[in-house]
A and B are shown apart, each in its own frame.
Chain A
């Protein structure tokens, strides 16, 4: 029985440390994940900036505005999702898979005055093996 007490104490210490580190880690790299509709509609005061470094937004690259300078490493494009769209300005290395129609994830802040999302990170989804999109069978 003595052992169980020892185990339990160690377990409790580990659990407390774990909870502490999980919460601390959130302030290090926590991001709000928002839909385009939420980003465009809400004013930024509603997001708690103390807890978050920025926003992560997913969507599809629209074809109406698509200015990419791979050489100059800038991209200005429109992202759309669920009937809403948002202008994005990005500076940095452009991923290979980035093109019109690609699914992308951007991280950064929304500049409400200019109506533009300033992205510091751009991820284009790797069309990986698990993809099961219906139009894939368009042969």
Chain B
């Protein structure tokens, strides 16, 4: 049943592309109509395929390989449904579905604009959809059946049975796929040879939309790692994490390049290049996670033949796009006057930093491969190297973000600049001094604090001056940057100043940690739906006042499939305040000897990361609501 939808989806996709090509060549509206209907049909068919797979998963159709591989009878319903993106085949189908839905949405949004331009947007959207459908049909088929019906499935890895699993992957996928639209519009504008600001205005909602989802998805992944993996961290510079960061960095650069393009006509070719690069990096990330070349990642990847298809797709689309840029090169000349000491100057240097940061992280991520090719030794780097390389670029980026709002477009009067920037600088310096007094004395910490507080102060100052409540675009930008500063402080302080203790303590005894007294209770064992829970209750008191009860837990998952082994996971417990988190992991216990072993961590300002992220997303949504004229 699902296969029929896939095959028909492929057929109507090809029909749509042919129709749109003819519509452009013959300037014929009836071809355009045929293409439009075929696109709608494709959207309906792929939706059908997704629904069929979803039905198989929820109803436990263990004749289906995918269902049998990622679910079992004991799995709670919500994880049966979300197993749609637990495996490769399902995620690729989801990708195709999102691509076609987004493309079909453009059918509505572009109803009044030039039909040739539109046709090219649809062609690139449908082409991408077909690529993913092709992979679903011929490489990893989500509808592959077993020669028999299994009695039960493999079940879902316990680490994936978490709220994060329900929401983190789809957020990322939506973000990734939405970056296809800026590419599609850039392609269309080059095809029709119209490098005016039309396409850049058209992509703004999409770039913001993709950016908001990617931001939320990345930070939610970090939060997931923080609450689930039990090492007290949220970011490990793992290859897969980095893969989601690349398009975020270039996508952020694209948003800024688009402002230069739209308002000043500067760096047009950069706007195009960043639309291309961001799109290719979303595909590249998918390639990276499936190629098997990142063998030292904590995410284990199966090497699969898929990687070659991804590589081919990237090479072909890039070559076509670069050729188009070359053909249109004369139109992309940058003639308007350009000053570094201006808002666009800050933007330009920021673009360089974003790109440099992407290249640096990419180089380190790919280092085992690169060094193996060049030197025949595999060299890899620890988190320390990533931190080392990203801190200077982030310091410069925050410095620029603090400066840009006090500068004007064109040319900046240095006297005015000083008058506006000095208060910002004073506020930031005061915060740094206070932090020093509180014992937070790292050099990197001081620089990051100085610059991120300057972003905060500078944008708050802007908000006071321009009263942006009628202009969503400016208001959104202000909220995003304030959120960014809040998050930057959270990351800086939690990463640089966290401290942890390994504690061995008698059950029913207590110990001191930070400003708290932590009293240990007795281990409680309970049978839950599909796991056995062992919990150690801890009571947090401050000066005799009870503040919270923390319940770090060990879970033993017993799969309903008898051939599978039980798996254990640790569930951490934490107490959050604006000052920081007390984070506890139950490392082990021995009821006979009456001892428990705990890892207790204090991490300053962790909550600021989550709050900052929420602000950034809200800001992005506010900015998206802005109505641009003539769109």
Contacts and interface: CB of A to CB of B under 8 A. Distances in A.
Nearest to A133: B302
Given A28-B384, A32-B377, A127-B157, A58 B295 contact: yes
A73 B587 contact: yes
Given A29-B382, A33-B296, A96-B570, A139 B301 contact: no
Contact of B561 (A14, A33, A139): A139
Contacts of B338: 2-3, 6
A31 B295 contact: no
A25 B382 CA distance: 10
A126 B162 CA distance: 14
A24 to B, nearest CB: 7
Interface in B205-230: 229-230
Q: How large is the interface on A (under 10, 10 to 19, 20 to 34, 35 or more residues)?
A: 35 or more
Contacts of B337: 3
A103 B292 CA distance: 14
B180 to A, nearest CB: 21
Interface stretch (B37-45, B53-61, B360-368): B360-368
B569 A96 contact: yes
Q: How large is the interface on B (under 10, 10 to 19, 20 to 34, 35 or more residues)?
A: 35 or more
A123 B230 CA distance: 13
Contact of A131 (B230, B302, B360, B393): B302
At the interface, is chain A mostly helix, strand, loop or mixed?
A: mixed
B296 A10 contact: no
A124 to B, nearest CB: 8
Nearest to A57: B296
B353 A14 contact: yes
Given A21-B360, A21-B392, A25-B364, A4 B290 contact: no
Given A10-B349, A21-B388, A96-B230, A126 B298 contact: yes
Contact of B152 (A7, A58, A139): A139
Interface of A: 2-4, 6-7, 10-11, 14-15, 17-18, 21-22, 24-26, 28-34, 52-53, 56, 58, 70-71, 73, 93, 96-97, 103, 105, 107, 123, 125-133, 136-139
Interface of B: 62, 65, 68-70, 85-88, 91, 146, 150-154, 157, 159-160, 169, 229-231, 240, 266-267, 289-290, 295-302, 304, 334-338, 340, 348-349, 352-353, 355-356, 359-360, 363-364, 368, 377-386, 388-389, 392-393, 502, 561, 563, 567-570, 587-590, 595, 597, 599
Given A22-B389, A25-B385, 8 more contacts: A3-B335, A71-B597, A126-B299, A127-B157, A128-B299, A132-B304, A136-B69, A138-B563
